């Protein structure tokens, strides 16, 4: 699911003028809790979209953060929730929300 979330976010954020979407580090390259500045340096990013996901009884909870790695400041944060059946719609909504924030 981790790679699918990353790919759906990249797909949803593509096409924003002035924004270059980079691949996320693989699971081996970025362990949980790794410093956001180090992750940003690995991929050459000025901002990171960080997601956490939990699945419980068929309900998916996705938390999305847009983070400035230099200051570690959260620029945007919001939760999304859906059933497993509506997962693609939830991911489109999450990517659209981050895209709106980046275009501001």
Q: For 68-88, write each residue's pLDDT tens digit.
A: 888 889 999 999 999 989 998
- In this prediction the pTM is 0.75
Residue 30 has pLDDT above 60, yes or no: no
| pLDDT mean across residues, the chain | 82
Residue 64: exposure state from Cβ atoms within 10 A (0-12, 13-18, ≥19): buried
- Whether the CB-CB separation of 61 and 81 falls below 8 Å is answered with yes
- Whether the CB-CB separation of 50 and 32 falls below 8 Å is answered with no
Residue 62 has pLDDT above 70, yes or no: yes
Would you identify the CATH topology of the domain 2-103? Rossmann fold (3.40.50)
Q: What is the pLDDT of residues 7-17, one digit of tens each?
A: 888 888 877 77
As a whole-number percent, the residues of the chain with pLDDT over 90 amount to 26
- Residue 52 tokens read as 């956490």
The more confidently predicted of residues 14 and 100 is: 100
């Amino acid at each position: 699911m981790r790679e699918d979330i990353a790919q759906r976010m990249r797909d949803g954020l593509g096409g924003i003028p002035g924004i270059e979407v980079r691949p996320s580090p693989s699971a081996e390259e970025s362990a949980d809790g790794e410093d956001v500045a180090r992750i940003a340096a690995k991929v050459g990013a000025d901002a990171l979209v960080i997601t956490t996901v939990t699945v419980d009884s068929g309900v998916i909870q996705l938390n999305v953060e847009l983070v400035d790695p230099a200051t570690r400041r959260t620029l945007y944060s919001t939760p999304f929730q859906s059933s497993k059946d509506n997962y693609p719609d939830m991911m489109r909504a999450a990517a659209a929300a981050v895209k709106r924030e980046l275009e501001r």
